[in-house]
Amino acid sequence: ERVREFARFRPDLSFCAEAGGEIVGLVRLWDIHIGAIPALFLGPLAVHTGRRLDGLGGRLVAHAGAAADALGEGPILLVGDPPFFERFGYAVPPTAGVRLPGPVDPKRVLARGAAGPLAGSVRP
């Protein structure tokens, strides 16, 4: 949440899922830098309670990642549950040198699309 306080929202890379005229899920991406590297931050990912077991969250994550790849964007960073996000190419090891604002469990900081280890403070 602290990252979203200063990052620039990317509506072109953020998506909602609708069912019956209601929003049942969303994912948002934000412009950041990790040190000097331009990157994106993923969050929040939110899915209506009644839709959590049908793969909607995974489809939103995959769609946002594919849209970012299509635009040639850099790595995507997030704070989340490794078993969920690892199936979409996110991993903890490239993030060992990343410094996020506020307290964060380093075992929950993941990235995908990095050419190598990421290091430095997350900033606008």
CB distance 36 to 120 below 8 Å: yes
Q: What is the pTM of this model?
A: 0.95
User: How many angstroms separate the CA atoms of 18 and 16, rounded?
Assistant: 7
Please name the residue that has the structure tokens 């412009």.
31
**Domain 3-123: which CATH class?**
alpha beta
List pLDDT tens digits, range 10-61: 999 999 999 999 999 999 999 999 999 999 999 999 999 988 889 999 999 9
Please name the residue that has the structure tokens 């994550």.
61
User: How many angstroms separate the CA atoms of 87 and 92, rounded?
Assistant: 12
List pLDDT tens digits, range 54-89: 999 999 999 999 999 999 999 999 999 999 999 999
